[in-house]
């Protein structure tokens, strides 16, 4: 005959087992998941492509967050996007959106080659001695929309815009390096989109919109959405042509 204590011990074990299951489930839930939203019946658009009026004029901050830091991607993009896609140049010779489903197999093994033969729209090169630290102190770089280190796209004219040295080397690089480190450390994918913003018929982009989202962990590892302005401290840019001049001491 079973003792009274053994009769009570059985339900206690069941309760403890259920508690362990609940705790295990909580531990297995990915931290910092960033769910996507929006219409998933078709591919998404960047803010520059869907409603560029949401991009404010440059007002001091060289990099701003868009959409609360959440990309405009949706589940259709996650399910259907593969490889790399680059927009054709428009009638003014300007680049459009570049999108890629990145993984570490796309990252180049060889150093980057020469790209000097590419002349993107707005290419009006100038030197600013004492203001730009590169040697020579060139104002403009041939700026990859999707970084060479991510896909190995070198001299693709559909992936190169005229960008200031400051935008390319100081503002864009930290975001690109986040994605590079993630791909090197995890066997996963990052959906990545860069959209240059050309106002009306201007030849020099006002800046670039960058969206990135790590797929397998639903944004826990990489999730950002920013707009980076194509500016250079101390230099005034004419976005209609790409011409430039030193700013006056009062910043005007």
For residues 170 and 173, give the distance between their C-alpha atoms in angstroms, rounded to a whole number: 6
**Quick check: 218 and 30 in contact, CB under 8 A?**
yes
In three-state secondary structure terms, 142 is strand
Question: Tell me: the pLDDT tens digits for 135-173?
Answer: 999 999 999 999 999 999 999 999 999 999 999 999 999
Residue corresponding to tokens 């001695």: 129
- In this structure, the chain runs to a length of 252
Q: Which of 140, 139, 114 is nearest to 128 (CA)?
A: 139
Residue 16 has pLDDT above 70, yes or no: no
Residue 7 has pLDDT above 70, yes or no: no
Cross-strand pairs, 85: 99
| Residue 25 zone, left/alpha/beta (φ > 0; ψ -120 to 50; rest) | alpha
In Å, the largest CA–CA distance within the chain is 98
Residue 250 has pLDDT above 70, yes or no: no
What the block records as the tokens of 51 is 């409603």
Q: How many CB atoms lie within 10 A of CB 212?
A: 24
- Long-range contacts formed by 199-202: CB under 8 A, 24+ apart: 199/52, 199/239, 201/92, 201/240, 202/122, 202/239, 202/240
Mean predicted confidence (pLDDT) in 71-98: 98
For residues 21 and 197, give the distance between their C-alpha atoms in angstroms, rounded to a whole number: 50
Question: Tell me: the pLDDT tens digits for 41-81?
Answer: 899 999 999 999 999 999 999 999 999 999 999 999 999 99
- The pLDDT, as a whole number, for residue 32 is 74
H-run or E-run covering 176? helix 173-185
User: If 0-12 CB within 10 Å is exposed, 13-18 middle and 19+ buried, where does residue 85 land?
Assistant: middle
């Amino acid at each position: 005959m079973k003792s009274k204590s053994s009769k009570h011990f059985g339900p206690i074990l069941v309760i403890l087992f259920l508690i362990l299951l609940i705790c295990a489930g909580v531990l297995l839930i990915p931290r910092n998941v960033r769910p996507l939203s929006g219409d998933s019946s078709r591919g998404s658009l960047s803010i520059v492509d869907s409603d560029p009026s949401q991009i404010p004029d440059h007002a001091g901050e060289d990099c701003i967050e868009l959409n609360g830091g959440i990309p405009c991607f949706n589940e259709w993009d996650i399910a259907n996007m593969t490889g790399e896609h680059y927009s054709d140049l428009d009638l003014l010779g300007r680049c459009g959106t570049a999108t890629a489903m990145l993984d570490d197999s796309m990252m180049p093994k060889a150093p980057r080659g020469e790209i000097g033969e590419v002349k993107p729209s707005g290419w009006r090169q100038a030197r600013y001695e004492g203001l730009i630290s590169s040697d020579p102190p060139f104002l403009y770089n041939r700026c990859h929309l999707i970084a060479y280190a991510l896909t190995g796209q070198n001299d693709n004219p559909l992936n190169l815009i005229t960008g200031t040295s400051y935008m390319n080397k100081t503002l864009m690089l930290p975001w690109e390096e986040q994605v590079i480190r993630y791909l090197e450390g995890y066997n996963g994918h990052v959906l990545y989109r860069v959209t240059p913003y050309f106002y009306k018929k201007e030849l020099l982009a006002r800046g670039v919109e960058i969206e990135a989202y790590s797929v397998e962990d639903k944004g826990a590892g990489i999730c950002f959405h920013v707009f980076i302005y194509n500016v250079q401290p101390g230099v005034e840019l004419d976005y209609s042509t790409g011409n430039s001049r030193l700013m006056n001491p009062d910043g005007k």
